[in-house]
């Protein structure tokens, strides 16, 4: 399939609530998922939500590389990477009250990064493209990725959640004054 064009902040599709997928096993869903994976990998992103490729459906793909897991304050020791995951109609719930702040970036907001407070632990329930229902618990950076991607399905971009706009900026400028580089 093809590499899809990624909508950037300001495009109205990124502010819409995406629709539930009526049949996660439909062939057109699998075709879209394949193209989303290809697009995410080409852009070197951690995750991608369907509205980012102009498709207003509740579909998310993500993959947490080993070197990214366990890098966040509050991450448990030994948290590993997460294999490529496809979530159709995901529903996220916080687990516990703990939150933490970490830098995020987004393929729809290229070149920028900013600090966002997220729940440290979440539970997500979703369907696979085989129609199976999965319940997955996640914490730390993995939980952050899930919350960021599922926000896209509700028309929310991470800059809307940045509390300290003084720390929001261009990655290459931020990295001049911070040794800890911002997210990719
Ligand atoms: Ni994003």
pLDDT at 71: 58
pLDDT at 91: 98
149: annotated active-site residue: yes
Calculate the alpha carbon distances from 101 to 31, 143, 167 in Å: 35, 12, 12
Domains of the chain: 12-183 (3.90.45.10)
CA of 162 to the centre of ligand 1 (A): 13
Give residue-wise pLDDT tens across range 89-147: 999 999 999 999 999 999 999 999 999 999 999 999 999 999 999 999 999 999 999 99
CA of 73 to the centre of ligand 1 (A): 21
CA of 110 to the centre of ligand 1 (A): 10
pLDDT at 66: 81
Catalytic residue among 72, 104, 139, 149: 149
Q: Decide if 35 contacts 1 (C-beta within 8 A).
A: yes
CA of 106 to the centre of ligand 1 (A): 4
Q: Where are the alpha helices (DSSP H) in 43-181?
A: 140-153, 171-177
pLDDT at 181: 46
Please state which of the ranges 79-83, 146-150, 167-171 shows the lowest mean pLDDT: 79-83
Residue identified by tokens 């009250």 is 97
CA of 138 to the centre of ligand 1 (A): 18
Q: How many residues does the chain have?
A: 184
Tell the burial category of 169 from Cβ atoms under 10 Å away from its Cβ (0-12, 13-18, 19+): middle
Q: Decide if 39 contacts 48 (C-beta within 8 A).
A: yes
Is 182's pLDDT higher than 60? no
pLDDT at 77: 47
Is 24's pLDDT higher than 80? yes
pLDDT at 166: 94
Long-range contacts of 165-170 (CB under 8 A, 24+ apart): 165/114, 167/114, 167/115, 168/112, 168/113, 168/114, 168/115, 169/112, 169/113, 169/114, 170/111, 170/112, 170/113
Give residue-wise pLDDT tens across range 45-79: 999 999 999 999 999 999 998 877 655 654 554 45
């Amino acid at each position: 399939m093809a590499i899809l064009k990624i909508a950037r902040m300001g495009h109205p599709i990124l502010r819409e609530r995406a629709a539930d997928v009526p049949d996660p096993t439909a062939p057109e869903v699998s075709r879209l998922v394949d193209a989303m994976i290809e697009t995410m990998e080409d852009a070197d992103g951690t995750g991608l939500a369907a509205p980012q490729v102009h498709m207003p459906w509740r579909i998310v793909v993500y993959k947490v590389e080993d070197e990214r897991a366990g890098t966040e304050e509050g991450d448990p020791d030994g948290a590993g990477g997460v294999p490529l995951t496809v979530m159709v109609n995901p529903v996220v719930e916080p687990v516990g009250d703990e939150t933490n702040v970490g830098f995020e970036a987004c393929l729809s907001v290229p070149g920028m990064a900013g600090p966002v407070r997220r729940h440290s632990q979440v539970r997500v329930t979703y369907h696979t493209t085989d129609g199976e229902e999965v319940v997955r618990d996640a914490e730390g950076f993995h939980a952050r990725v899930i919350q960021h991607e599922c926000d896209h399905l509700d028309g929310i971009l991470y800059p809307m959640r940045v509390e300290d706009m003084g720390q929001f900026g261009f990655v290459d400028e931020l990295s001049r004054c911070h040794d800890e580089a911002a997210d990719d």
